[in-house]
Amino acid sequence: MIHGAAHGGWCWDKVVPLLEGLGHTAIAPDLPGHGQDATPAAEVTLESYVDCVCRLLDEQPEPVVLVGHSMGGISISQAAEYRPGKIRTLVYLTALLLENGDAFIPVPSIETETAEPEPEAVRTALEERPFWTVSSDLAACTYKDEQVQDLFYNDCSPQDIAWAKSQVVPQPVGPLLGRLAITGQNFGRVPRVYIECLEDQALRPEHQKRLYTRLPCSQVLSLNTGHSPFLSAPEELVRLLVSI
């Protein structure tokens, strides 16, 4: 189970014991620069995220159900390109299901699509998002405290909101800019399931629908929750995961 932007493995704390109670092995890592991982934000890239996921896949004795939440969808797609035989099913939980060449924040280079974009172009693209502030060195974006609850936890309890807000970290910029590189031969042969969250304020339902319509999935399942069903409706989420 791969977390999204600014989060960590902690966000699955309610889900892990429920899955384990049903006999599953449930693994919820911290990606580099998140949770308990102390990698400096300036050193974190999309590839470092994916390397972390691939190392875990290589350690497993059998193919896994690989779940990506929100921005975690990019990591699981790229991991499927590199390790298609290690994944039974990809599950996109209100997640970014992107096509080849797409990025969370696409910033074109002046010269070529593969060259590094100019710093000022990066800053401009990042600062277009009103829900975070950008560090002076362009290493990380910090979600504004007043926005976090509405975006991520609009249907969560006050206790869960307070706990989650205390865990959220600045989001490294590198993975926001990384472009997906996937093919039909590898990524394309791994079955995909999308779980849409119908009260989501961060990745709105109409955007989710555009994603899974553009890149169809074998199943589309629904939860009447906000962006963080692992906090607000863990039992319902586990029921869907087990059904998959």
Q: Where are the domains of the chain?
A: 9-243
Q: Which of 94, 78, 9, 81 is nearest to 46 (CA)?
A: 78
CA nearest to 160, candidates 1, 4, 15: 15
For residue 134, what are the β-bridge partners? 141
The two structure tokens encoding residue 29: 């890592």
How far is the CA of 237 from the CAs of 39, 97, 131, in angstroms? 30, 19, 27
Which pLDDT tens digit goes with each residue over 106-136?
Answer: 987 544 455 677 899 999 999 999 999 999 9
Identify the bridge partners of residue 90 per DSSP, sorted by sequence position: 66, 192
Task: Write the pLDDT tens digit of every residue in 56-84.
Answer: 999 999 999 999 999 999 999 999 999 99
Rounded Cα gap, residues 107 and 178, in angstroms: 10
Q: Which residues of 153-192 are buried (b: 16+ CB within 10 A; e: fewer)?
A: bbbbeeebbeebeeebbbbbbbbbbbbbebeeeebeebeb
Contact predicate 10/167, CB 8 Å: yes
Domain 9-243 coded CATH 3.40.50.1820? yes
- Torsions phi, psi for 194 (to 5 deg): -115, 130
The backbone torsions φ and ψ at residue 220, rounded to the nearest 5 degrees and listed phi first, read -125, 120
Per-residue pLDDT of the chain (244 residues; tens, 9 = 90+): 999 999 999 999 999 999 999 999 999 999 999 999 999 999 999 999 999 999 999 999 999 999 999 999 999 999 999 999 999 999 999 999 999 999 999 987 544 455 677 899 999 999 999 999 999 999 999 999 989 999 999 999 999 999 999 999 999 999 999 999 999 999 999 999 999 999 999 999 999 999 999 999 999 999 999 999 999 999 999 999 999 9
Q: What is the pLDDT of residue 111?
A: 45
Q: How many CB atoms lie within 10 A of CB 101?
A: 11
Q: What is the pTM of this model?
A: 0.96
